[in-house]
Chains A and B, each alone.
Chain A
Amino acid sequence: MNERELQDAVGRLPKSIEPPRDLWPGIEARLGEGGGRRARGWYWIPLAAAAALAGVLLGRGTANAPWRVSPLAGLPIVGSAPLRTAGTLRVGQWVETDDSSRALIAVGWIGEVAVGRRTRIQLVVARPDEHRLALARGVIAAKVDAEPRLFFVETPAGTAIDLGCAYTLEMDSLGNGLLHVTAGVVEFEAGSRRAKVPMGALVRTRPRIGPGIPYVEDAPEALRRALDTMDVKGALAAARAEDAISLWHLLQRVDAPRRGQVYDRLASLVPPPPGVTRAAALALEPEALDRYWTLIHRILFRRLILRGVRDIDPRTGTTVR
């Protein structure tokens, strides 16, 4: 590599990187401890104005963009009228397709949602800082290019939270769903239950229960069945190193007495990164879990993007010589 190639590569580095976890709760707690004791004064006004201007200059995020909806096939219904040409989608309006129709929704400036057949979906919130749809049934394919946590899809089983990604989401008439992530990461949340679903992984969702345990696209059938029924013993037996994301989630779902078994199996398949101890993982310490996740996620990512190019060791993410 010469100097120019290096400079070109450096020039393509992203200016913004999503933190591996939400850092706001920690900041908020520290502001409450005294960092935030000072009341906001006059300076807040120019600060807010400057920040807003910065957002406008960045071209995204602070200005309201209209939500547009276009027919892709047949005659989707928007509100109560058939959609013949592209139009504006307003908050509260439903888009409904039948066996022969499909539609495309432009999500403000930040992305688009393809609405499949036999789907019913509503625009709930359209603000620069919150783009929210509600999927009652059917299938959508979402592509979003934005800061994390700007785009949400509510379902009867919980909420899909975009962390910068592309995914499909199917929902049957009973509210059972399947999320399949094709780029980036999606978080699926229902109450206190959360699942982080990276590219190349899926998760089933159920009303009143929330997300199940995510699994990779090529997960063995025996593992999928075991995860569906929370058969821990069966899941541990069926899991491979490639299934580490499932065990990482399982670790946090099982009760304390069984956590050790799950951790030991996970650690035998993908050794933990430096700084992650068994005790910290069993105590579900966020920092330890985050570090383990970063390693597992990186390995999965390398395995997927280098498929057919290099053989990647699923235990370490390194190239197999």
Chain B
Amino acid sequence: MAFRDLYRQHAGRVYALCLRLTGDAGAAAERTQDVFVRVWDRLSTFRGESAFGSWLHRLAVNVVLNERRTSGRRERRVTPVADPGLLERSREGEREPTVVLRMDLEQAIAALPEGAREVFVLYDIEGFGHAEIARLVGIAEGTSKAQLFRARRLLRESLDR
């Protein structure tokens, strides 16, 4: 299997994670590239003990969060834009309200404050636990729970508008 094939197989999953964690399509594209370059560099650390997808996923989370830490207070360069490609995978039988809700939800997630967004994406979408999120993000477990509560409240309010 060529590395390119590996990229083709996993690019969508990694891009989705990066897009939701950053809330920025341009940054997500950059982070996705960073992730695969890092995968290439760190292949020797993958020993097949866990599923490759899980290993890749954790590595991607680390890449995005590390970049956020190192970029410090750097301002976001672009306004978040929902990815239409996501929406257009809706198939026959999936009617407008579902698609619109999905689009609005993606936009609402992108508009969340950074800390709340990261915890929400990692917990509610990616299935990480609070202890692991706390370790990855560098916050207390209680803070992770509070951020999740805040994120859900903000999303409900946003979607009710």
Contacts and interface: CB of A to CB of B under 8 A. Distances in A.
Nearest to B6: A51
Interface stretch (B45-53, B58-66, B111-119, B137-145): B45-53
Most buried by B among A49, A50, A290: A50
A230 to B, nearest CB: 28
A164 B53 contact: no
B51 A1 contact: no
Contacts of A187: none
Interface in B1-60: 1, 3-13, 15-16, 19, 25-26, 28-29, 32-33, 36-37, 40-41, 43-44, 46-48, 51-53
A122 B59 CA distance: 42
A149 B85 contact: no
B102 interface: yes
A54 B99 CA distance: 28
B91 to A, nearest CB: 7
Interface string A43-74: 11011111111110000010000000000000
A1 B160 CA distance: 6
B8 A13 contact: no
Given A27-B7, A46-B47, A305-B100, A14 B37 contact: no
A145 B93 CA distance: 14
B157 to A, nearest CB: 9
A40 B37 CA distance: 14
Contacts of B46: 43, 46-47, 50
A218 interface: no
Given A164-B85, A298-B82, A16 B5 contact: no
B74 interface: no
A18 interface: yes
Contacts, number: 188
A64 to B, nearest CB: 15
Interface of B is mostly: helix
Contacts of B77: 275
A183 interface: yes
A165 to B, nearest CB: 7
A38 interface: yes
A320 interface: no
Interface in A27-48: 27-28, 30-31, 35-36, 38, 40-41, 43-44, 46-48
Contact of B88 (A1, A12, A184, A309): A184
B69 interface: no
Contacts of A3: 152, 156
Interface in B66-109: 77-79, 81-91, 96, 98-103, 105-106
B83 A12 contact: no
Contact of B25 (A7, A24, A40, A294): A294
B85 A1 contact: no
B155 interface: yes
Contact of B9 (A36, A51, A305): A51
A40 B43 contact: yes
Contacts of B87: 301, 305
A47 B125 contact: no
Given A12-B98, A36-B40, A147-B9, A295 B160 contact: no
Nearest to B24: A275
A274 B89 CA distance: 26
A52 B53 CA distance: 11
B159 interface: yes
24 contacts: A3-B152, A3-B156, A6-B152, A7-B124, A9-B159, A13-B102, A16-B12, A19-B11, A19-B32, A20-B83, A26-B33, A31-B3, A35-B37, A43-B46, A44-B43, A50-B48, A145-B89, A148-B12, A164-B89, A273-B81, A274-B79, A275-B26, A275-B77, A291-B26
Cβ-closest 10 pairs across A and B: A16-B12, A46-B48, A50-B52, A17-B16, A48-B1, A18-B85, A275-B78, A19-B15, A17-B86, A298-B84
Given A13-B106, A17-B16, A198-B84, 13 more contacts: A9-B102, A16-B12, A17-B19, A18-B83, A19-B28, A19-B32, A24-B4, A31-B40, A41-B43, A129-B5, A148-B12, A185-B88, A309-B100
